[in-house]
Amino acid sequence: MTASPAIENTVKHSAELPAQGGFRTHDRLTIFRLLAITAGIAVGLVVYSPNVDPGNKSPYDVEYFRSLVAASLIGACLPAGFFAFGFRRRSHARLGPGGLLALAMTTGTLLLLPPAAMQGDNGMGYICLRVTLPLMSLWYLVGMAAAGQLNRGAFSGGIPWSERYALYLAIAWLPEACWLIYEMYEEAF
C-alpha cells in the first residue's frame, strides 16, 4: 500500500522544519554568490586600495599589504548583508547573530563608500572603515563568545551559509583588529 502524493509531499517538507525561528531553506554558496563576492572585492580594491608613491615607500612595505588586505575585506563585506537579507526574505526566518553582523557590515560599507571613493585612501570614510570594521568584528565575536553563542554550532551545516559567511568575515578581520589595538596601546603608553 502506497501513500498518496499529498502525504508524501507533506512528509518530504516536514524534514525542513523551522531553524532559528523560520523555515529552513537551502542557503549555500552558489556561483552567483561567488561572483557577487568577487565583484565586491574588486570594488573594494578599486575604491580602497592604497596609493603607492615610488619615491617614498617600497610597495613591499607591511603597511601596504595591510591596506591591501583591508581593501579586499571591505569589498567582501559589501554583499554580505544582501545575502542575509535575501535569506530572510526567502525563508521568513529571523536573522541570527551572523545575519545581524552581515547587515551591519554592509550598511557601514555602503554608507561610507561615496566619501571614500571621492577622497581616496587618506579620506575619513576609508579611515573609519579601516578602523571600525575590524574592531566591530572583534567586539562582536567577543560578545558572542561571552554569551555562549560562539561555538562549533555557529559554523555547522544547520546554520545558513549567509550567517556563517559573516562570521568568517569577522574572523578574517581579527588580525587587523589585534594589530590596531596593539598600535593604540603602543601609542598611549
| Structure-block grid coordinates of residue 21 | 525561528
For 1-55, how does the pLDDT look when each residue is reduced to its tens digit (9 = 90+)?
Answer: 555 555 444 434 433 434 444 445 567 888 999 999 999 999 989 888 877 666 6
Q: How far apart are CA 160 and CA 171, in angstroms?
A: 17
Helices and strands, number each (H, E), in the chain? 7, 2
Q: How far apart are CA 134 and CA 73, in angstroms?
A: 10
State the chain's maximal CA–CA distance in angstroms. Answer: 83
Q: Report strand pairing: 22-23 vs 18-19.
A: antiparallel
For 100-114, how does the pLDDT look when each residue is reduced to its tens digit (9 = 90+)?
Answer: 999 999 999 999 888
For 135-175, how does the pLDDT look when each residue is reduced to its tens digit (9 = 90+)?
Answer: 999 999 999 999 888 888 888 877 888 889 999 999 999 99
